[in-house]
Structure 1
Amino acid sequence: MLKQAHLEEAVRRGVINARQQADILVIAREGDDDSAAEQQDVQNIDNDEDLRLVGGGNDLFVTVGILMLFSGVGFALQTWLGDNQIIRAALMAVLMWLVAEFVTRQFRMKLSSTVLGLGFLGYTAAILGIYIWETLDLAKIADNPQLAFGLRPTIGSYGSAFFGGIALISILYFWRFRVPIMSAAIAISLTGFAFLWTFLYFYDGVTDGRVQLPTVEQVPLILERALMMPLICGIVVFCTAVYFDLRDRERSTVWSDCAFWLHVISSPLLVHPLFILATGQDVVLGKIEPGMTASIMLGLLISAFVYVALAIDRRSLLIPTLAYFGSLGVYYMIESTANSTGLPPLALILLVIGLLVIMFGAGWQRIRALIVRPTLPTSLINKLPPIRV
């Protein structure tokens, strides 16, 4: 008997697409009067951004088993091996890889595979971190911070080995198991690599005399210019995610899931720098109350993110964006003085965000059709994810 799991496997292998899967399920249930509500749910499958993070009750059950298994193994290894952290981490990583050969390769359990992938990556990163910590004897810096200046000849190579190692491990794990969250790990590690060398470049400029130490008045300007690095990294990660989306318009392959995680990573990298650059706010030093001009710029910035999210059909880009602005508004209202009068500008922003979330949750595809379809050329719309109304 044909089951939904068979159809999901057919979608994963590229035999059919997600829309065809939904149509087949609708046909299979047309004769059952008692499943009318369920038919409506199936017809609406393509109206939502399918995260494919959990494979079902059995996936959750196995995930709990994995957490219990490795918790027990961790306590046992700590008892047997004591303080030998590298050996313990290596054994845990090897065991997680072996379990992934069964859970991920054989049964493609989504949540369990994600937990195993993150665990394997965490233990391998711990091995690299512990090795670098012990090799450079970083514990001495806590007692004598001046020793940090003597690490410059080696910090670049060891830092590159750390971030590059995590990226290579993530690529290897993805090549073997096709776990989408590894794309986020690759993006984060490469972003860390870029931050490291940007810092070392300016540090070398100061020590060589090419760059003067900033005065207190110049600190805000330096911080503002420093925002260019996360902004550039966010643009690169976002463009990579859009590329994956364009090569999988039907959202039926692992590349679509990779794009989801890349959008989650790119959103904070884009939002924070653009917020400060567009509104002139100094979040680092605590000034976050925007005036009228800054509030207008903030509203335009939110509108731009909303429009892009609608165009590429990615709420995973929009949710962190709204969460950022919402948390910023909450922070401002908590820090506001008791004698302030009138409605704070960011309170209005919070109201708008709340309405947007409810409205988008109720009719995402209809809003896409109303906003995106009339404003973009047909040639571009045909390359974007289909508008399903």
Structure 2
Amino acid sequence: MTNLAMPSEAPGISPDTLLAAVANGLLTAEQAQGLRDLESASASTLDREPHDDEKFRFISGFSDIFVTIGLGLFLGALGYFSGDMIGNTGMFAAIAVASWLLAEYFTRRQRMALPSIVLLLVYAGAVFSTVAEAFNPNLSFGMGLGNHGGLPIVVAGLATAAATALHYQRFRVPVTIAAGVAALVASAIGILFMVLPDFAIQTAKPLLLACGVAVFALAMRFDLSDPQRQTRRTDIAFWLHMLAAPLIVHPLISGLVGEGGSDAISAWSILAIFIGLALVALVVDRRAILVSGLSYAGFAFGSLVVKAGLADSVVPLTMLVLGALVLLLSAGWHALRRTLVPLLPGALAVRLPAHT
């Protein structure tokens, strides 16, 4: 599924080895057949593990966590000392170079999943910060993006997209595509703030929503090209869904949040949107959007609890209901998909993950 190869399990005895053992008198034919039967029975037992179409490799063992802690300590110290000696721009550049060099060993040679993800994210963030800081050392992200204020964001985003493209060509870490797309989204928004600042400020949420839908469409393109989810494309799609989810959910729901969360109509609207997102998540068999909407669903349900006069119990009741909802969806995920997917047009249904 990804080029970060998982540690191989102990291989079974090959048929050729069994035949050679019988030919050399090490085993009888009956004993060889017994070993074959035992191997088949073991494989059948392993095949009965819970089915999950969203499997992806995050860690392969505690060594991944151990190395990641070391990377955090090393890069943090490097940033501290380089910042004192060569300033912020040089600090970010040093971190970017160090992240690439460390990836040469931990990603390209060792194939360690979690360190590879962390190194890529640090690399992308460091490249973006290096270019933005070089263009405007006093840049305050999110402020003053109009006119020429957005230029550092635009250039930094484009530079980061190019840098992540080179990184992917070298290391093939699936999350790299999402990082590059995030940089392009930042550049696109920065350009709009430069060209039409007033319009961009007034339509910030729809712009983010449009970007989220575009990223979701790209994620679905990867998903639909690999319905069995057996190649690197499904890992790329997973991270793109993780990026698309907040871009879609936040602008779609945040505008409905009333002051203090006291608007019951907004609360019911948020819950209705959450149900719609749950249906989309079920159909495409991706839980990222659903997870992103949980915080808003909790806020909405809490508002309804307050309206019902149970303000003292709002936190535990909200946690109870959301926890029960997540558990019910988890338990009935495949059964719900078996109900929903056949209702879709046949040409689309066959390109989605199997609903067994």
TM-score by length of 1: 0.70
Q: Deviations over 1:297-353 (max 9, x none)?
A: 3343222111111111111221112233224545x479x5xxx65468x99987654
Give the distance between the partners of 1:287 and 1:164, measured in 2 at CA: 39
**Is the partner of 1:273 in helix, strand or coil?**
helix
Distance 1:268 1:75, change over 3 A: closer
Matches within 5 A, 1:188-227: 188-203=182-197, 225-227=203-205
Query: Once the two structures are aligned, what percentage of the paired residues are identical?
Result: 30
Among candidates 126, 139, 161, match of residue 167 of structure 1:
161
The residue number in structure 2 matching 1:97 is 100
Q: CA deviation at 1:253?
A: 2.2
Residue 115 of structure 2 is matched in structure 1 by 112
Unaligned stretches of 5+ residues in structure 1:
8-26, 140-144, 207-221
Aligned pair 1:238/2:243, yes or no?
Answer: no
Query: Which amino acid in structure 2 is aligned with residue 234 of structure 1?
Result: G
Going from structure 1 to structure 2, the CA distance change for 1:56 and 1:251 (only over 3 Å counts) comes to farther
Which residue does 1:185 correspond to in 2?
Answer: 179
Per the TM alignment, residue 188 of structure 1 is displaced from its structure 2 partner at its CA by: 2.2
Taking structure 1 as reference, are residues 89 and 234 closer, same or farther at Cα in structure 2, changes over 3 Å only? closer
- Matched with 1:385 is 353
After superposition, the Cα gap between the structure-2 partners of 1:168 and 1:305, relative to the gap in structure 1 and judged at 3 Å, is: same
The 1:236–1:70 alpha-carbon spacing in structure 2 relative to 1, beyond 3 Å, is same
8 A contact 1:299–1:349 mirrored in 2: no
Shift in Å, 1:254: 2.2
Q: Distance in 2 between matches of 1:333 and 1:316?
A: 25
Note if 1:70 corresponds to 2:75.
yes
> Within 2, Cα distance between the matches of 1:5 and 1:45?
20
CA drift at 1:105: 1.4
| Cα deviation code 1:114-167 (max 9, x no counterpart) | 111112122222211221223xx659xxxxx9xx69x83x33543321221122
Name 1:291's counterpart in structure 2. 264
How far 1:199 sits from its partner (Å)? 2.8
* Distance in 2 between residues matched to 1:138 and 1:72, nearest whole Å: 24
What secondary structure is seen at the aligned counterpart in 2 of 1:249? Answer: coil
Secondary structure (helix, strand or coil) at the match of 2:226 reads coil
Computed over aligned residues only, the root mean square deviation of the Cα atoms, in angstroms, reads 3.5
> Following the alignment from structure 1 to structure 2, what is the Cα–Cα distance between the partners of residues 295 and 325?
8
- Per-residue CA deviations over 1:348-380 (Å, capped at 9, x if unaligned) read 9876543320112224222211x3234223332
| Contact map agreement 2:268 2:300 (CA 8 A) in 1 | no
Which residue in 1 is equivalent to 2:128? 125
Q: Aligned equivalents of 1:250 and 1:56: distance in 2?
A: 26
The two structures have a TM-score, normalised by structure 2, of 0.76
- 109-118 vs 313-322, which moves further: 313-322
Q: Which residue of 1 aligns with 2:325?
A: 356
For the structure 1 residues 175 and 291, does the alpha-carbon distance in structure 2 shift closer, same or farther, using more than 3 Å as the test? Answer: same
User: Which residue of the partner structure matches residue 22 of structure 2?
Assistant: none
Answering whether residue 323 of structure 2 is matched by residue 323 of structure 1, we say: no
Shift of 1:271: 1.8
Q: Specify whether residues 308 and 72 from structure 1 end up closer, same or farther in structure 2 by C-alpha distance, changes over 3 A only.
A: same
Residue 259 (structure 1) shift:
1.3
| Amino acid across the alignment from 1:168 | A
* Per-residue Cα deviation, 1:154-183 (whole angstroms, up to 9, x for no partner): 335433212211222222212221122222
Aligned residues: 320
Inter-CA distance 28–325: structure 2 relative to 1 (3 Å threshold): farther
